[in-house]
Structures are given as structure tokens and as C-alpha cells.
Chains A and B, each alone.
Chain A
Amino acid sequence: MAGDQLNAEGVSRRVASFDIRYTQYLDMEGRPVQPLPALADDPEQIVSLYRAMVLHRTFDAKAIALQRTGSLGTYAPCLGQEAVFAAVGAVMREEDVLVPYYRECGAQLLRGVTMTELLLYWGGDERGMNFEGPRGDFPCCVPIASQIPHAAGVAMAMKYRGEPRVTVTVFGDGAMSKGEFYETANAAAVWNLPLVFVANNNQWAISVPRNEQTRCETLAQKAVAAGFAGEQVDGNDLIAVMTRLSAAIDKARDGGGPTLIEAVTYRLSDHTTADDASRYRSEAEVEENRQYDPVIRIRRYLVNNAYWNDDKEQRLEQECREAVEQAVQAYLDTPPRAPESMFDHLYEKLPVAYAGQRDELVHKGEKS
């Protein structure tokens, strides 16, 4: 029989096998390595996503600067991973739900969360999570992987109601060592959920490199163990991430169940503004990875095809700076919350038991 193998103990038969695809369309110079998919026929969309990536990068740099000057709390930078976020933001529909981790500003911006709201959140104000844009999206999630089961619950609600909606959850490579990932992947297949798992494999979970997280050759194959398809894409190639993510989302929307997309990228920044990556990785490694920069790659593609030029670039930079400055100003001008408002959203209605504590807070600091 095909696949039968004779060994010392007798004949054993292959009962399962798998392979993992890797998709890349553009090389580092922005040149196609294979015929481009249909979405490349819409240069306007790619230009608009390039603009979003530059805006995101401008915002990111500003957020770090604000943190350094004491105007923002600890912030998780996104440098080098903009293509993943842009693709997530671009491919999802408004009525879909994003269940993000904490390194996610790019996708959130494209989903309609404002820069001011993001700054409020990272500036220590819950109002930043009550965003006006995508009302059903989850806010950032700090405890690693704990958001992943929420995505299954959201997807379950969509399926239960028979709605053609899809849930997308994003997490890092470190999250895939956690039970929440495994438990949810397993259940997503059992329940055939309209759920797309996006692993932003940026190679580093704070100080622990991807190869010390797992001996799996790819993170994508973890989906195979759960009984559904996983694949890798070049996470620095916007066209590749969009194409494969789009296919996964369409499949989920059509009742085809979950997919895991492992976007292979690199965290060019520190883990957060409280981290110093030089403690655990060499500058040479970071430099080596700068050549894969997703923003530069898609710009080269656009320039190569005459969809973009220096003039437009300069104007874009100016626009982004202005937009970010405006958002920062709105953030800085936001009146502070009344301290006692920390009781306002604890329950739908504040239980009598805590009314006294609220009063205590109102009078805290008053001289007796």
C-alpha cells in the first residue's frame, strides 16, 4: 500500500501528512517574483494602503517621542510590521470583528479607530477603548493570547445568527506557546467557525526568539494539529498578506471554517518603550532585517510601476505629520476624567454597596 513502511517492528502505515505553503509576490526591490494576483490590478487600493502604512509609521514614531517626553505611557511600537496591520485593516469588512492583541494600531486605524483614541488608551485613559469607529471590535489585549478565545465566541455568535460575518484575531509568535491558542484553534475547527487566526510572527516575544518558543518548522503548522489549514506568507509583502488573508476571510465567510495565516515579519523596534532590545539581540541582526522593511518594499513596487513618485512622497509625509500633530493636540486637549468616573462603568448600575466608596473618592484630597 502507498505509504507503507517496513521497520524493525513490522509494517506501519502513514495516516496523516501535511505541507505548509509560503507565499511571496514581491522581492525586496518591489519586483514581482511571480505573476501578481488580481488585487494588483487596483493600484488605487495599494496606494491608499501605502499611505495608511506611512501614516501608521508616522504615528508610531510620534507615540514613542511622546512617551520619551512624558506625554504618553508605555507604548508598544509597530515598526516593521505595518504590512500585516494594513492587510488586516484592508481585507476585513466593516461588519466583521477584529480581536487584536496590543501591537495593533495600524489595523485599528484602518478599522476606524482614531489616532486620538489610540493615544488616549496608551496615555492611560479608558475612553480610548470606547472608540466611535468599529463598535464591535475588541480593544487591545495585554495578557498574551487571552483574547484568542474571545474571537471564537464572537465567531460563534455570528454563526449562531447565520450572519455572513467573519472574526479576525491577531497575536504574536509568543502567544502560540499558550494554551488559549491551542484550545481555541482546536475548538474553531470542531465548530467550523468563521474565524481567521493571524499570527504576526515578528521573531521575538520580548527577549525570547521564535526558535526558543517552539521546535515547529513553521508556526502555521500548528493549525494542522487542530485540524484546519495553516499557511505562511511573507509578512513584509503587503500584496502577499492581503491576498492570502483575503482568501482565508472569503473561505470563512462562505462557511469554510477557520484558517491560520502566519505572517513572517520582524520586530524592528523594542518590544515596548519600557524595553531595551539591545540586551538580547544584536544591532547587526536588526540591521540585516531592515532590508525587508515592508513600507520600503511596497513603495518600491509603486515607484517601479509609476504609481508613486518623490513629489507624492513629500506631500504624503507632510500630510501625515499634520494629521498626527492634529491628533496629538486633540489628545493633549482632552479634558481629564473626573476621578469618580472609575465607578461609572463597573456595572450597568453601580450597586449600593459601592456608592459609599464613590463618595469617598469624590472627597479624597479634601482637607478635613
Chain B
Amino acid sequence: MTEMTLVEAVNSALAYELDADDNVIVLGEDIGVNGGVFRATVGLQERFGEQRVLDTPLAETLIAGVAVGMAAQGLRPIVEIQFMGFIYSTIDQILNHASRLRNRSHGRLTCPLVLRAPFGGGIHAPEHHSESTEAIFAHIPGLRVVIPSSPARAYGLLLAAIRDPDPVVFLEPKRIYRLVKQDVVDNGEALPLDTCYILREGADVTLVSWGGSLHETQLAANALAVDGVDAEVIDVVTLKPLDVQTILDSVAKTGRCVVVHEAARTAGFGAEIAAQLAEHGLLNLYAPVRRVTGYDTVMPLYKLEGYYLPSVEQIIAAVREVLEFG
């Protein structure tokens, strides 16, 4: 058992799987000697060599496309994209190729790659570094979209993503890369994908979130508990495919739901959860589903990002609203 931050857990999972499986190749920009801009790959090239931990030319489309080719040959490439703002030139490769290679060839060729990228705001980063556009990927058939929110989950979920036979977009909330330390057992044990994680059980309201926002969501739940409100907190973890049943079951119990995410509201992933609740859980609801999200604005530069990100107070206010409804 070692105490680790989330980014250290990512590093440990990468190291574990590089060691366990010769087919695993880590590639990206500045991930070798430099150890990655967030140091997620620190020490890996030194330990596993330049063939396994590969600095690429500065070309994101290339990196994603190369990973598709490697994966089709049975390798397990793990791509690091430095920031979410640089991920968009990979979308052609992810949407047109990685996510559909198995389907196009009826299983003759497959694409077991992982595309890792830090995402979200809150670290006073430069322009184009702080967006949360996970919903874009959650819209793509054939893909998995996985977002950890703690060191232990980052470790186990990344291992699962690497071992998954299909492509996974693995988004790391960089705001909490070093926020907390947690005991992680570096034993190569993966955590299940395609399932929500209940972080806290409660009877009065269901709070659904993922990634960095879970930090504020859990703080809100703690504050509410002091006032006698018993909130259930669900970490969605795998946005695609969504384990909607866990959310429906929770709402069947609580009758109230608040979804929290950093991404812009319109067509954010919270809209999908609200729609699923409306389709399959309407009669269990005592109040409309509330969304506490980023605004439908361009992600502001860092002077205003604190105003953009969902706050503990906003979450508590939304919970009050659904509790007092009707």
C-alpha cells in the first residue's frame, strides 16, 4: 500500500502494465525524458526504454492515427494528449477510425487503444487548457469514455482501460491530479468499467457527477449532512456506455436528483442523464432534475474561471431547491 496522488496513480498503472505486457506502448509529446507535462509518465522511459515509451513529433492527428495502426496489429498503445484543447485534431482518427475499426471489419481488425488527456479547469492554465468537452466523445458509438476521480480509481480504471479490447478515451481531471493522496495497492488489479460507483449512500437526494466536480459535490454532501440532508453521491466514471441503472435505482430511492459537471450545460452529458431519468424514472421523481454546470459560454481565461466552475454553494442551493420543490 502506497500513498499516491491521482497523477502518481496514473504513473503506477502505466508502469505496471508496461511491465506486465510487452504489447503496451506509451506514446505522446514530451512523455519520454521529460516525463510528460504533468509528469504522468515520469521515469517510464528510463525504466522501459525508448521503444516502449516513445516521444513523438508534435502532431496530434499523427499520434492518434499511429495508435490506430499499432492497435490493429495487436499492440496496446496508450496515447497521451497534453491538454484537452489539443485533442480535437485526434477526433477524425477517433471517430472515423478507432471507434469503428472493429465494426467496419466485423472484428477482423480491432483497436484496443487508450487516449489519455488531462481535462477541466481550475489550475489557472493558459487559454485552451481548461475545457471539459467529454460529451463530444460520449456521443461517438464504439468508444468508451472513462473519467476517474480519485487516485485508487485512476489506478484501477486505467488498468481496465488498457486491457479493454476496444478504444477508451481516458480523461484525467487535472484539477485533482495532486489534490489528495490516497492509499493505493499497486497490485495490477483493475476496477470494472461500464459501471457507476456509489461514493456515499443517502436517502434524500442523488448527486451525480464525475471527474473534478466530484470534489465540490462531495464537499456539498458533507455540508448538507451537517444540516441533516442525507445525499447519495454517484461517480458516473464511465460516461459511455452509461450505467443508467445505478442512477435510476438511486433516484427510485431518493426521488430527487442533481447532476453536477464542469462542461457547458447545453448538450453536456448531464442532459443525457436528465433525459434518461425523464424516460425511465419520471414517476419516481418528486422534483425536476437540476443541473449545476459550467455556463454556455466559452471557458473564460483564468481570472474568471472560478466563477465558471460549479461551486459547493451552487450545489447546495440546487439540492435545497429540489428538496423544497412542490
Q: Is the CB of A183 within 8 A of B61?
A: yes
Q: A159 — nearest CB in chain B belongs to which residue?
A: B51
Contact residue among A130, A155, A344 (Cβ-Cβ distance under 8 Å from B105):
A130
Known A126-B104, A139-B104, A146-B92: A152·B65 in contact at CB below 8 Å: yes
Could you say which of B31-39, B71-79, B151-159 contacts chain A?
A: B71-79
Could you say which of B217-225, B239-247, B306-314 contacts chain A?
A: B239-247
Bound-state Cα–Cα, A44 to B71, Å: 38
**B18 interface hit (Cβ, 8 Å):** no
Interface string of A142-158 (1 = CB under 8 A from B): 01001011111111111
Which chain B residues (51-89) contact chain A, with CB distance < 8 Å?
51, 56-57, 59, 61-62, 64-75, 77, 89
A13 contacts across to B, CB distance below 8 A: none
Bound-state Cα–Cα, A187 to B27, Å: 13
Q: Is the CB of A130 within 8 A of B106?
A: yes
Bound-state Cα–Cα, A119 to B303, Å: 59
Interface string of B104-137 (1 = CB under 8 A from A): 1111111000000000000000000000000000
Least CB distance from A171 to B in Å reads 13
Which chain B residues (1-43) contact chain A, with CB distance < 8 Å?
25
Q: Is the CB of A157 within 8 A of B74?
A: yes
Q: Is the CB of A150 within 8 A of B108?
A: no
Q: Is the CB of B103 within 8 A of A348?
A: no
Q: Is the CB of A149 within 8 A of B102?
A: no
Known A129-B105, A345-B102, A345-B107: A151·B57 in contact at CB below 8 Å: no
A136 contacts across to B, CB distance below 8 A: 72-73, 109
Least CB distance from B146 to A in Å reads 13
Bound-state Cα–Cα, A187 to B259, Å: 43
Contact residue among B69, B103, B142, B243 (Cβ-Cβ distance under 8 Å from A153):
B69
Q: B102 — nearest CB in chain A belongs to which residue?
A: A345
Listed residue (A146, A149, A151) with the most chain B CB atoms within 10 angstroms of its CB: A149
A139 contacts across to B, CB distance below 8 A: 104-105, 109
Bound-state Cα–Cα, A97 to B72, Å: 11
Contact residue among B25, B57, B61, B71 (Cβ-Cβ distance under 8 Å from A190):
B57
**A99 interface hit (Cβ, 8 Å):** yes
Interface string of A171-210 (1 = CB under 8 A from B): 0000000011001101100100000000000000000000
Could you say which of A48-56, A104-112, A243-251, A351-359 contacts chain B?
A: A351-359
**B186 interface hit (Cβ, 8 Å):** no
**B96 interface hit (Cβ, 8 Å):** yes
Which chain B residues (268-317) contact chain A, with CB distance < 8 Å?
none
**A271 interface hit (Cβ, 8 Å):** no
Bound-state Cα–Cα, A351 to B65, Å: 25
Least CB distance from A77 to B in Å reads 22
B25 contacts across to A, CB distance below 8 A: 160
A138 contacts across to B, CB distance below 8 A: 72, 109
Known A180-B61, A187-B57: A157·B102 in contact at CB below 8 Å: no
**B253 interface hit (Cβ, 8 Å):** no
Least CB distance from A345 to B in Å reads 5
**A321 interface hit (Cβ, 8 Å):** no
Known A99-B69, A157-B70, A157-B73: A131·B108 in contact at CB below 8 Å: yes
Q: Is the CB of A351 within 8 A of B194?
A: yes
Listed residue (B57, B96, B105, B244) with the most chain A CB atoms within 10 angstroms of its CB: B105
Contacts A135-B108, A150-B72 aside, 11 further interface pairs with beta carbons under 8 A come to A130-B107, A138-B109, A139-B109, A146-B97, A149-B61, A149-B62, A157-B70, A160-B75, A179-B61, A348-B102, A353-B241
Q: Identify the 10 closest CB pairs spanning chains A and B, nearest first.
A: A153-B69, A149-B65, A157-B73, A353-B241, A351-B241, A183-B62, A130-B106, A150-B69, A183-B59, A153-B66
A-B contact pairs, 20 of them (CB 8 A): A126-B104, A130-B105, A131-B108, A139-B104, A139-B109, A143-B96, A146-B93, A149-B62, A149-B66, A152-B65, A152-B66, A157-B73, A158-B73, A167-B69, A184-B62, A186-B62, A187-B62, A346-B102, A348-B102, A352-B194
Residue numbers of B with Cβ under 8 A of A are 25, 51, 56-57, 59, 61-62, 64-75, 77, 89, 92-93, 96-97, 102-110, 141-142, 165-166, 194, 240-245
